[in-house]
Structure 1
Amino acid sequence: MKAQFVIAITLMIFVNFSSCKQEKEIAETNRIIEEATMVKTVKVANFSDSGIIKTMGIVLSDNEARPSFKTGGVIHKTYVEEGSYVKKGQLLAILILDEIDAQVKQAEEGLKKAERDYNRVKNLFADSVATLEQFQNVSTALEVSKKSVDIARFNKNFSEVRAPITGRIVKQIMKSGEITAPGNPVYVIMGVGKSDWRIKVGLVDAEWANVSFGDKAEIVLEAYPGKKFEGYVSDKASLGGNGGGTFDVEISFRNQPASLAAGLTADVTIISSKKDKFITIPIEALIRTNGTEAEIFTISDGKAKRVNIRIAKILGDKVAISSGMEGINEVITTGAIYLEDGEMVKN
């Protein structure tokens, strides 16, 4: 009887202890929940890319020339100015020829003397009066004099600049009276043939990867409002570095307007042959961005978890994500910017 009484008392104490412990755990849980930061989450969505890339570009000529003198000197005269239209082979500038003519005359006189010396020593050598060494020396001197004349005449022939291509002068670098060195450009000429014009656009890496050679493009030039021109992707840069974190892509015309000028702006729509699928999230879920790199928060075990992602493109109030969202079904939007990694949250 006494043993049964002891057992009963022990059970009552254990039950009371367990009950108190549960109440404390419940109270602690409620306290944590009450202290957790209130946030709002949104489910991620799937997005099928239409393959359309919209961007802006600049009209440029693919054919550019920088003609220069082959020899140095003082520029006597330039015949064309910026904005002028020139034809291939047209004379653009000449050097002052006084010094060059003097060099030619000096070289020719030196050649005459070398020929006289050669003929005299040759006859003496035939009579065994001159030595073989003397004959060899005048022979060498004669050859050197001939080369000097060739160089002087070459310099005279190339003391002028002619247009290497048909186009328009977009910049005059040197003018009359200035001293130029060999190879220094005098003009910049931009080709204006139908095959010369291109539109250069800059695409982020994900867009660049989705563009292929030959992809169709629609071109709208501000200079020709209301008109659309057909084009195609003709070149892709294999190296970034234009300063904007983008990669250059060139668009060629299929039917270009009758008149174009370098620097015209164009709205370009590229229809990519590749159709990718992305996960999209609201743009307000982004808490930090650096180019295409970004950070978001999701919820894991009731705590905020920071996740690094890569942005593929912006779609209005949403962003398409190319990587980093594996296994994530929802993201924190409202309140995300104020959270710390590992902070208790509730929604």
Structure 2
Amino acid sequence: MRIPNLLLVVPIIAVLSCTDAKKTAETNEVIPVKIINLKTSKSNENVIATGFISTENENKLAFKIGGVVDRIFVKEGQSFTKGQLLATLKLTEIDAQVSQAKLGYEKSKRDYARVYNLYKDSVSTLEQLQNSKTVLEIAEKTLEQATFNKKYAYILASSSGFVTKKIANEGEIIQGGFPVLAINENTDQKNWIVKIGVSESDWSLITEGNSCKIEVNGKLYSGTVSLKSRAIDSGSGTFQIEIKVKNATKDFAVGMFGKVTIDVARNKSTNIIPYNAVIEANGKNAYVFVPTSDSTVKKIPIEIESFNEKEVIVAKGLEGISSIITANSPFLNEQSKIKIIK
């Protein structure tokens, strides 16, 4: 009765022995591979972004004091020159305040002179003289204030520019400091800028003074980075950069679209490898095999920067590596035995 059991055991042992032999054969299998020496490319790195045309100084003009808007002499989009009168308040009430302050000052001046003479004759006391002098000084300052305020019943252009928006209208009653006109200052086409937003990684590459190329409506202009914001814009989630345009023309207008290419003046080294060397690519992440000896390999991760029709440009991962495996990479693992063929 023991013979059948023995017959069952023998085939099982034979099957297991064949399986182990197959695994050993697979483990010891030598895979032929080809290798290439890495190519390094050096180039100036650029940051490319888009933004809108504006000017360096954007202001909102207002009267210092409140009152009724009498005249606004410019329209939206209209240019103006330095010193040009842009708007005025009605002066009836303001002139009355100046006249009142002037009359008060003259009366206080007469009162002080009278008390001073009485004090010299020992009729008035020192306290009365001092009080009279204080009233005179207050009246003098009130007149100065009224005269000063009248000067700001007019809005004069501090520099040349153009009106981007008319906020108030003639006949409106406004408070002091309430904007009347929104303007952009621009003298001889020298104040045009392009405002762009960049990511954190691009922001770290940019420095003030970097040269730029600006494309607006198919025309190319030159410029430099004039301002690099030190705080992120909460609305867009980007860092704001301002580009000063060097050779702007009269074709520019606020709000126009521009494409900016910033030369960050940094020589960047990248490795170039063929497509068949890359395995397990997922977005910018992938792997390659590199020979560690004439018969062993190692799998290393890489970061892809870009690619073209023939090659892959590697940003990171191949530092210190001189050669990589190309042929038969999909059949390899880190336990594989290889044979390098020419």
Q: TM > 0.5 between the two?
A: yes
Aligned partner of 1:261 in structure 2 is 253
| Post-superposition offset of 1:322 | 7.2
Which residue number in structure 2 is paired with residue 99 of structure 1? 93
What is residue 285 of structure 1 aligned with on the other side?
Answer: 282
2:242 to 250, 254, 266: 250
1:245-292 per-residue CA deviation (whole Å, 9 max, x = no partner) reads 322222223333343111111222222211334689899714xxxxxx
Q: 1:278 to 1:181 in 2, by over 3 A?
A: farther
Distance 1:228 1:65 in 2: 28
CA distance in 1 between counterparts of 2:313 and 2:228 reads 23
Compared CA separation, residues 283 and 67, structure 1 to 2 (3 A): farther
What TM-score, normalized to structure 2?
0.68
Q: Which has the higher strand share?
A: 2
Checking the alignment, whether the CA contact within 8 Å between 2:190 and 2:248 is kept in structure 1 is no
Query: By how many angstroms is 1:22 displaced?
Result: 6.5
- For the 8 Å contact 1:199–1:251, the answer to whether it is kept is yes
Aligned partners of 2:68 and 2:90 also within 8 Å:
yes
Q: 1:50 and 1:131, CA in 2 relative to 1: closer, same or farther beyond 3 A?
A: closer
Matched, 1:176 2:183: no
Match of 1:236, as an amino acid?
K
- Kindly, what percent of the aligned residue pairs are identical? 34
For the residue of structure 2 that corresponds to 1:118, the secondary structure is: helix
Q: Does the 8 Å CA contact 1:206/1:313 hold for their aligned counterparts?
A: no
Rounded Cα–Cα distance in structure 2 between residues aligned with 1:97 and 1:212: 51
Q: Does 1:239 align with 2:231?
A: yes
Whether the 8 Å contact between 1:208 and 1:247 is mirrored in structure 2 is yes
Q: Secondary structure at the match of 2:128?
A: helix
Partner residue of 1:163? 157
1:218 offset after TM fit, Å? 2.1
3-state DSSP class of the match of 2:232?
A: coil
Match of 1:79 in 2: 73
Letter in 1 for 2:215: V
The aligned counterpart of 1:341 is: none
2:55 is matched with 61
1:116, 1:250 → 2: CA distance?
60
Q: Give 1:104 deviation, angstroms.
A: 1.4
Which stretch of the first structure deviates more once superposed, 164-173 or 317-326? 317-326
After superposition, give the CA deviation of every residue in 1:220-266 in whole Å (9 maximum; x if it has no partner): 211xx3x3222233332222215333222222233333431111112
Task: Measure, in 1, the Cα distance between the counterparts of 2:202 and 2:257.
Answer: 20
For 2:211, the equivalent position in structure 1 comes to 216
- 2: CA distance, partners of 1:144 / 1:284: 82
Q: How many residues in Structure 1 have an aligned counterpart in Structure 2?
A: 281
CA contact (8 A) 1:75 1:179 kept: yes
The answer on whether the counterparts of 2:59 and 2:183 sit within 8 Å (CA) in structure 1 is yes
* Post-superposition offset of 1:130: 1.2
CA distance in structure 2 between the partners assigned to 1:247 and 1:323 by the alignment: 25
TM-score, normalising length from structure 1?
A: 0.67
Shift of 1:321: 8.5
CA contact (8 A) 1:207 1:312 kept: no
**Structure 1 position 113 matched with structure 2 position 107:** yes
Residue number among 262, 266, 277 corresponding to 1:274 in the alignment: 266
Distance 1:147 1:254, change over 3 A: closer
Matched, 1:192 2:189: no
Q: Is the 8 A contact 2:42 2:269 kept in 1?
A: yes
AA aligned opposite 2:80: V
5+ residue gaps, structure 1 = 1-11, 30-44, 287-293, 300-306, 331-347
Aligned to 1:88: 82
- 1:83 and 1:151 map into 2 onto residues whose CA distance is 35
| Contact map agreement 2:281 2:287 (CA 8 A) in 1 | no
Whether the 8 Å contact between 1:67 and 1:164 is mirrored in structure 2 is: no
Corresponding residue number in structure 2 for 1:304: none
CA RMSD of aligned residues (A): 4.1
Q: Which residue identity is paired with 1:218?
A: K
Aligned-partner Cα distance in 1 for 2:105–2:262? 66
For residues 297 and 154 of structure 1, do their structure 2 counterparts lie closer, same or farther at Cα, with a shift above 3 Å needed?
same
Code of the residue aligned with 2:267 in structure 1: it is: K
Between 314-323 and 87-96, the greater mean CA deviation after superposition:
314-323
Distance verdict in 2 for CA 1:50–1:136, change over 3 Å:
closer
In the alignment, the residues of structure 2 paired with residue 180 and residue 236 of structure 1 have an alpha-carbon distance, to the nearest angstrom, of 37
Q: Aligned partners of 2:186 and 2:117: how far apart in 1?
A: 63
Distance 1:22 1:47 in 2: 54
Give the Cα–Cα distance (whole angstroms) in 2 for the partners of residues 58 and 133 of structure 1.
Answer: 67
Distance verdict in 2 for CA 1:114–1:323, change over 3 Å: farther
Distance 2:138 2:115 in 1: 17
Counterparts of 2:264 and 2:52 in 1: how far apart (Å)?
20
CA shift for structure 1 position 135: 1.1
Cα 1:188–1:321, aligned 2, differ >3 Å: closer, same or farther? Answer: farther
* Greater mean alpha carbon deviation, residues 46-55 or residues 137-146: 46-55
Q: Which letter maps to 1:285?
A: N
> How far has the Cα of 1:128 moved from its partner?
1.1
Distance 1:102 1:255, change over 3 A: closer
